[in-house]
């Protein structure tokens, strides 16, 4: 029998990877009743760790600095936050993880630079102390990112200390994205930043994406149990959790 908190951690990992999960499918995967999963989702929503929707749940970002470390993205953001000092200039691509990191860094005011107007707005609530710079430029309609010469000058004219990237797939030397505009931005940021951090779930290390770019040296933040190919990559890890690691459930283990 495994404890409910273990099952709920696994649910949160799936949400971070997929963005949305269905209760019925999750119940079948874990071998528990639909009611058990509904109870889990209610408990996690009450903690602000997910958003319940009809038939399942959606990923949501934490809104306070006391977000539960049950969430992999929060645990990884805490690891990264230890490498960041107040006043740092941080480039981030258009990923929800940037919002998690900004929340964790509430006691370390920083400057975030992003080509995403939507993310810029999300990083700038009155409750957070950070300065936010949106690059401007030509808006790519597919990715909703600014691109072009004007946008790239926003990186060239500032001494960016950190690039924080979350690609769709990663090899020891390349990051891959689903769109060429995303890939170009990642490459530009990594080339001009003093340090690059790649923050991805373990699944990204075996995933594939069409648009790959070469990376300079980077630090990987992910779950442990990483492939041997990454043995020489500087890495910070959190514990890995998978369904295979869970023992058969007890439907009354709420």
CB burial string 44-77: b at 16+ within 10 A, e below: beeeebbebeeebbebbbbeeeebbebbbbbbbb
By CB atoms closer than 10 A (0-12, 13-18, 19+), residue 42 is exposed
Q: Where are the domains of the chain?
A: 4-60, 72-238
Look-up of token digits 């072009």? 148
pLDDT value, residue 22: 93
CB 201 within 8 A of CB 16: yes
**pTM for the model:** 0.87
Given a cut of 70, the residues of the chain with pLDDT beneath it are 1-2, 63-69, 247-254
* Segment 208-238, tens digit of pLDDT: 999 999 999 999 999 998 999 999 999 999 9
Contact 102, 112 (CB under 8 A): yes
From the list 21, 89, 9, 91, the residue with the least C-alpha distance to 49 is 9
Distance CA 97, CA 119 (A): 10
Q: Angle 181-106-18 (CA atoms, 0-180°, nearest 5)?
A: 45
What is the CA angle 197-203-204, rounded to 5?
Answer: 45
* Domain 4-60, second-level architecture: Orthogonal Bundle (1.10)
Q: Mapping DSSP to helix (H, G, I), strand (E, B) and coil, where does residue 125 land?
A: coil
Fold match between domain 4-60 and domain 72-238 = no
**CATH architecture designation of domain 72-238:** 3-Layer(aba) Sandwich (3.40)
């Amino acid at each position: 029998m495994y404890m409910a908190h273990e099952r709920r951690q696994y649910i949160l990992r799936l949400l971070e990877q997929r963005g949305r999960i269905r209760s019925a499918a999750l119940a079948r995967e874990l071998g528990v009743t639909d009611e058990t999963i509904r109870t889990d989702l209610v408990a996690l929503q009450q903690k602000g760790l997910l958003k319940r929707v009809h038939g399942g749940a959606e990923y949501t970002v934490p809104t306070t600095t006391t977000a539960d470390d049950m969430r992999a993205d929060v645990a990884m953001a805490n690891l990264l936050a230890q490498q960041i000092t107040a006043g740092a200039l941080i480039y981030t691509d258009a990923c929800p993880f940037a919002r998690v990191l900004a929340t964790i860094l509430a006691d370390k005011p920083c400057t975030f630079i992003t080509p995403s107007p939507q993310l810029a707005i999300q990083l700038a609530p009155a409750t957070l102390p950070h300065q936010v710079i949106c690059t401007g430029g030509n808006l790519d309609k597919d990715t909703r990112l600014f691109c072009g010469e004007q946008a790239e000058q926003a990186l060239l004219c500032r001494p960016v200390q950190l690039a924080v990237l979350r690609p769709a797939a990663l090899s020891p030397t390349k990051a891959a994205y689903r769109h060429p505009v995303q890939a170009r931005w990642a490459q530009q940021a990594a080339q001009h930043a003093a340090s690059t951090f790649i923050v991805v779930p373990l699944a990204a290390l075996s995933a594939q994406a069409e648009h790959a770019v070469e990376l300079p040296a980077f630090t990987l933040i992910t779950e442990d149990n990483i492939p041997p190919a990454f043995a020489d990559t500087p890495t910070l890890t959190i514990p890995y959790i998978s369904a295979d690691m869970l023992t058969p459930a007890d439907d009354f283990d709420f």
